């Protein structure tokens, strides 16, 4: 059974801190790993990673994939209250774009 595990489950930090969110996976057929941000409604896309060691960056967010160790990290620097959300990691297992989601990490950024 395909499995995606995220840690920590929940995190509270002060504005300005840097956070690292973890995602590990065990799947039979890996095509890509995706990160999403979910606030009150549906997830919004952040990154898609397919190759090991290549960092993807968007503003204060960055992510990298390690296909040998089967994990990815999502970094957020200089956090802001607007970063408070649930961050979801999902793996595309290649069967018609099927995504297996992790449990999510709930991030709260306080003033």
Partner 1 sequence: GAVVSQHPSWVICKSGTSVKIECRSLDFQATTMFWYRQFPKQSLMLMATSNEGSKATYEQGVEKDKFLINHASLTLSTLTVTSAHPEDSSFYICSATPGTSSDNEQFFGPGTRLTVL
| The two three-digit tokens of residue 25, written as one number | 């996976």
Residue 69 sits at φ, ψ, to 5 deg, of -90, -5
| Cβ closest to partner 1, residue 34 vs residue 76 | 34
| Cβ closest to partner 1, residue 15 vs residue 101 | 101
| Cβ closest to partner 1, residue 7 vs residue 15 | 7
CB of 32 to partner 1, least distance (A): 7
| Cβ closest to partner 1, residue 65 vs residue 88 | 88
CB of 77 to partner 1, least distance (A): 25
How would you classify the pairing of strands 105-110 and 10-14? parallel
CB of 26 to partner 1, least distance (A): 16
What are the distances in angstroms from CA 71 to CA 6, 15, 24, 63, 78? 9, 26, 4, 11, 23
CB of 93 to partner 1, least distance (A): 9
Q: Where does this chain bind partner 1 (CB under 8 A)?
A: 31-32, 36, 41-45, 48, 50, 88, 90, 92, 94-104, 106
Q: How far, in Å, CA of 84 to CA of 29, rounded?
A: 32
Q: Which helix (H) or strand (E) holds 43?
A: none
């Amino acid at each position: 059974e395909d499995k995606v595990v995220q840690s920590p489950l929940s995190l509270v930090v002060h504005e300005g801190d840097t956070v690292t969110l973890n995602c590990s996976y065990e799947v039979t057929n890996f095509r890509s790993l995706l990160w999403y941000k979910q606030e009150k409604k549906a997830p919004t896309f952040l990154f898609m990673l397919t190759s090991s060691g290549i960092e993807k960056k968007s503003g204060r967010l960055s992510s990298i994939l390690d296909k040998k160790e089967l994990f990815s990290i999502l970094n957020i620097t200089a956090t802001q209250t607007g970063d408070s959300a649930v961050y979801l990691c999902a793996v595309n297992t290649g069967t018609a774009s099927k995504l297996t989601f992790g449990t999510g990490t709930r991030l709260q950024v306080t003033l």
